[in-house]
């Protein structure tokens, strides 16, 4: 899933393309046989550009797009099963300590990639791997939490 937050503009012949296309996707997934996301990808306004937040006078986040996708050995270039190298396109899972190709090992690993352009023109690309991690919150007695 790729989502353009803003920055689309029409070009010649009425074709709409993004000013900030997701070229990182193709470099990670082309060898897996996946096609690049459409350009432009589906878009939405940033939550900071909707009422009532748009009246606060706060500068909007500088993100141009955000993508959330599953990862595999091949996309990360990591051999998690010690079988033939980083060649599998099977989604990876996380058991709290290790990656696995086995879906019963834990939660699926997702990669969040975001792209921002700063006011001085510099560009930032951030990628982060995430997986749901269960937290055991069972307590043998009452619990009191002090807030600040």
Hey, CA dihedral for 95, 98, 104, 107, is it positive or negative? positive
Between strands 93-94 and 99-100, the pairing is antiparallel
Percent helix, percent strand, percent coil in the chain, to nearest 5: 15, 30, 55
Query: Rounded distance, CA 78 to CA 67, Å?
Result: 21
Q: Which helix (H) or strand (E) holds 28?
A: helix 24-29
CA distances from 85 to 73, 74, 75, 89 (A): 8, 9, 12, 12
Give the confidence band of 1 by pLDDT, cuts at 50, 70, 90: very low
pLDDT surpasses 80 at 5: no
Interatomic CA distance for residues 54 and 68, integer angstroms: 25
Q: pLDDT digit string (tens) for 54-90? A: 788 777 767 788 888 899 888 888 898 888 888 888 8
CA atoms in the 13 A half-sphere facing the CB of 134: 7
What is the DSSP-derived secondary structure letter of residue 23? -
Does 64 or 11 have the greater pLDDT score?
64
Q: In whole angstroms, what separates CA 65 from the centre of its chain?
A: 9
pLDDT tens for 108-145 read: 999 998 888 877 888 888 899 999 876 666 767 666 66
| Residues 41, 4 contacting (CB under 8 angstroms) | yes
Look at residue 9 and tell me whether its pLDDT is greater than 60. Answer: no
pTM of the model: 0.68
DSSP state of 76: H
Supply 43's token pair: 């878009």
């Amino acid at each position: 899933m790729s989502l353009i937050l803003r920055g689309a503009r029409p070009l010649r012949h009425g074709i709409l393309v993004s000013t900030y296309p997701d070229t990182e996707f193709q470099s990670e997934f082309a060898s897996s046989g996946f096609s690049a996301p459409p350009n432009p990808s589906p878009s939405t306004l940033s939550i900071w550009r909707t009422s009532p937040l748009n009246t606060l006078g706060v500068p909007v986040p500088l993100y141009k797009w955000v993508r959330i996708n599953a990862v595999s050995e091949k996309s990360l270039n990591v051999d998690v099963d010690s079988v033939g190298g980083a060649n599998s396109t099977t989604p990876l899972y996380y058991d709290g300590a290790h990656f696995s190709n086995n879906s019963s090992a834990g939660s699926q690993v997702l990669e969040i990639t975001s792209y921002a352009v700063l006011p001085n023109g510099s560009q930032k690309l951030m990628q982060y791997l995430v997986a749901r991690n269960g937290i055991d919150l069972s307590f043998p007695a009452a619990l009191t939490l002090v807030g600040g």
